[in-house]
Amino acid sequence: MTRGTFAYVGQRFVLIALTALVVSSIVFIGVHQLPGNAFLSERQSSPQREAELLHHYGLDKPLPQQYLAWVGGVLHGDLGESLVNRGVRITPLLLRELRVSATLGLFALLFTVVLGMGLGILAATKQNTWIDYAASFGGTVGYSMPNFVTATLLILLTVTGFYAWSGGAFYEDIGWGKPEQVIVPAIALGLYPMAIISRLTRASMLEVIRQDYVRTAWAKGLRPRLVVIRHSLRNALIPVVTILGPITTSVITGSVVIEYIFGIPGLGKEFVNSIFNRDYNIVIGVFTFYAILVGLANLAVDLVYPLLDPRIRY
């Protein structure tokens, strides 16, 4: 850690904060351009109640003042109160859901990295054989399939397939808590990033195994496993690590639809539900949260990078 590193990290934090500000203010302004508000049902029964609610949420103040109050709350870790389920504070709600989403996301990432790198190494070491071609084609398929298609096919295969097979015992099993309720969605979520990683690993391995020092390792009679893992893979890993930032983004984005399909009570499902319920306080909260998360993931990748490749300094 040098002074340059600190300056760099500081710069990146400014960028993350800026992104969060831009995102939240755009969503904030956008949401408040909408006709009507979340209290239309109250307006019909009693206008006075509506006014009370507007006052309670601070929605009767001018927009800039509302936004400043919101930013002030965020700085204290408070994202405000749900518009639909009144009295529910958003921050603890999101933190609880984050735990679910993080579990799912980490399983998906694990699946992605292990299988993706494995396939990539296999394809590279068996270049131009049918294994390579099958892995490449599988990569294109995994890369192209939208995750809701993968999810639907997996549900058809597992849940519905098991339904017929188990005589109806498996049906209501969409939800959260059992191991298979983590594994199947994690596969659906991880297939796309897995394809990216396997492609990248293959390309990067192919470049490395043609280097002189790898030939030297073979020439001195090293065991194949050591040549592949210790000499080739370690250097082939560097470009693969860079892609982990964008992959985190895709896992986050993907979790929105996967959680919605599989009925998993995480952040993604909350996002979709809040949009349908017009609970904009939660929408703004989740959105800002995602922007910060993506920023931090990219920053983490950039900080790991120089550890793998000492030539890189900030």
Partner 1 sequence: MATAPSDYALQEDFVASEQYEVGESVSLWQDTWRRMRRNRLALIATAFVLFVLLVAIVSQFWTPYPIWKQGVGPTYQTPTLKHPLGLDQSGRDILSRLMGGAAISMEVGIGTALLSSVIGIVLGLLAGFYRGWIDSIISLVINVWYGIPDLLVVIMIVVITGRRELLFIIIAISITAWVNMARLVRGQTLSLREREFVEAARSIGTRDFSILFRHIFPNALGPIIVQATYLVPSAIIFEAFLSYLGLGVPPPNPSWGAMTAEGYRSLQYAPHITLIPALALGLTLVALNAFGDGLRDALDPRMRR
Closer to partner 1 by Cβ: residue 133 or 218: 133
The CA–CA distances, whole Å, from 46 to 39, 40, 51, 60 equal: 10, 10, 9, 17
Task: Let me know if 118 is exposed, middle or buried by CB neighbors in 10 A (0-12, 13-18, 19+).
Answer: middle
Compare residues 217 and 290 and give the one whose CB is closer to partner 1: 290
Largest CA distance in the chain: 87
SS3 state at 156 = helix
How far is CA 184 from each of CA 91, 167, 194, 306, rounded to the nearest angstrom? 29, 20, 15, 35
Q: Cβ of residue 274: shortest distance to partner 1, in angstroms?
A: 10
Alpha-carbon distance of 120 to 187, in angstroms, equals 17
Rg (CA), the chain: 24
By beta-carbon proximity to partner 1, the closer residue of 6 and 137 is 137
- The site for partner 1 (CB under 8 A) is made up of 15-16, 18-19, 22-23, 27, 30-31, 33-34, 137, 140-141, 143-146, 148-149, 152-153, 155-156, 160, 163, 171, 199, 202-203, 249, 252-253, 256-257, 260, 271-272, 275, 283, 287, 290-291, 294-295, 298
Residue number, 209 or 257, with CB nearest to partner 1? 257
Q: Which CB atom, from 79 or from 217, has the smaller least distance to partner 1?
A: 79
Give the SS3 label for residue 279.
coil
Neighbours of 25 (CB within 10 A): 16
Q: Which is nearer to partner 1, 199 or 231 (CB)?
A: 199
State how far the Cα of 72 lies from the Cα of 2, in Å rounded to an integer.
Answer: 33
* Of 300, 289, 246, nearest in space to 102 by CA: 289
CB of 302 to partner 1, least distance (A): 12
Assess contact for 154 and 187: CB atoms under 8 A: yes
Residue (66 or 253) nearer to partner 1, CB: 253
Strand extents, DSSP E, 58-114: none
Q: How far is the CB of 27 from partner 1 (least distance, A)?
A: 6
Query: Rounded to the nearest whole angstrom, what is the least distance from the CB of residue 291 to partner 1 in the complex?
Result: 5
Residue tagged 């500000």 (tokens)? 21
Amino acid at the residue 292: I
In the complex, the smallest distance separating the C-beta of residue 232 from partner 1, rounded to whole angstroms, is: 17
Q: How far is the CB of 266 from partner 1 (least distance, A)?
A: 14
One-letter amino acid of 146: P
Q: Which residue, 30 or 72, has its beta carbon nearer to partner 1?
A: 30
In this complex, which beta carbon is closest to partner 1, that of residue 39 or of residue 192?
192
Burial class (CB in 10 A: 0-12, 13-18, 19+), 285: buried
Beta bridge partners of 81: 89
CB of 142 to partner 1, least distance (A): 10
End-to-end CA separation in angstroms for the chain: 10
Taking the complex as a whole, how short is the minimal distance between the CB of residue 131 and partner 1, in angstroms?
16
Task: Give the nearest distance from C-beta 143 to partner 1 in angstroms.
Answer: 6
